[in-house]
Amino acid sequence: MSEFSFTDHSHRRFNPLTQSWVLCSPHRAKRPWLGQTEEQSTETRPPYDPKCYLCPGNTRATGTRNEKYTSTCVFTNDYAAVHENQPMCTNTDIEQVTRSSSNDLFRVESVCGTCKVVCFSPRHDLTLPELSVEEIIKVVCAWQQVYADLSRNPEIKYVQLFENKGAVMGCSNPHPHGQAWALSHVPSEPAQEISSFRAYQKKHNACILCTYVEAELVNSKTESTNRIIVQNESFMVVVPFWATWPFETMIVAKSHVSSISEMSDAMTRDLASAIRELTIRYDNLFECSFPYSMGLHQAPTATHEDGVCCHLHLHFYPPLLRSKEVRKFLVGFEMMAEPQRDLTAEQAASRLRALSSVHYKSRV
């Protein structure tokens, strides 16, 4: 029997953050594709769209008029997923849908909170990779302010900053923007990460991501084990060893920083630079506006009791697989059993690392 090969043979990789496994099947990348392909928009967006609900000075669907902003702008979401004031759900309310009071089978919790929209810039046509570092710094500063402001509310237990880029990721408005959802509880995904942080700290007396950063710096010295795409003084952009999505990445703080509130001015600039470097490479991969869902994981709030064990990092989950027309689907086995990927983390990192840091639209 031949020797095991990570590029030819199936294997599982463990995700220590979520305590879950992903099946890697690199040989499947060779199979022919006759499935769904994504239609690519050929529309060129103008710098300003008078019909856009998010452009400066325009009227939104609810009748509220946007300020004529000239930089990053934040406002309350008109169609928020949660509300600040609503009645609590009682056992009597639960009986309306279960014919019994709350128990191990039928549990309900009332959720309160608020949602914000973060317009990255007044330009309707420029996504993050097309902004300058200085302009992305303003986005990061807006995140810091929103996170700090929402953390002051004692009813808020968690703040999630995120961006859905592209219609394929469910983005309902093409004007480049992100969101902030603030909730009265810590959601399942970050709660699992925090549990893993605590467990690793208890077992090893060390932070799991601090240890991971050190390990990947060592691994980067050999091409076959190098998963780092780019790095600077404060942040590392890496394809996680346990990545699920084809070109999934993390931006991880190199030092133990619990949240963006703790970042220095130098770290803020370094984070903006890392975001720009990564997203330019994403766009360059298939020479398109590369879709993804991105989110910051950090201390639930600036004052949360679990904050000390948290380590600031950003997850990028892009769906594209073979080209700008072919995307990855999490279906079948992946819904019923466990996630599966065709491309190894090392292969994905090598392809992203080899790409230019100059946006393809800017080439002469």
Q: Which residues are catalytic?
A: 177
Q: Please state whether beta strands 235-238 and 228-231 pair in parallel, antiparallel, or not at all (unpaired).
A: antiparallel
3-state secondary structure of 184: coil
Distance (Å, rounded) from C-alpha 51 to C-alpha 66? 12
Distance (Å, rounded) from C-alpha 277 to C-alpha 283? 10
Scored b (16 or more CB within 10 A) or e, 85-114 reads: eeeeeeeeebeeeeeeebeeeeeeeeebbb
From the list 158, 93, 143, the residue with the least C-alpha distance to 302 is 158
Distance (Å, rounded) from C-alpha 271 to C-alpha 251? 8
From the list 173, 155, 258, 246, the residue with the least C-alpha distance to 207 is 258
Phi-psi region of 94 (alpha: psi -120 to 50; beta: other; left: phi over 0): alpha
> Residue 167 gets which letter from DSSP?
G
Distance (Å, rounded) from C-alpha 327 to C-alpha 276? 23
Q: Cα 42 to chain center, whole Å?
A: 26
Please report, for residues 101, 107, 186, the alpha-carbon distance to residue 104 in angstroms, rounded to integers and kept in the order given: 10, 6, 20
Q: What is the DSSP string of 16-73?
A: TTTTEEEEE-GGGGGS---S--PPPP-PPPPS--TT-SSSTTPBPTTSPBPP--SS-E
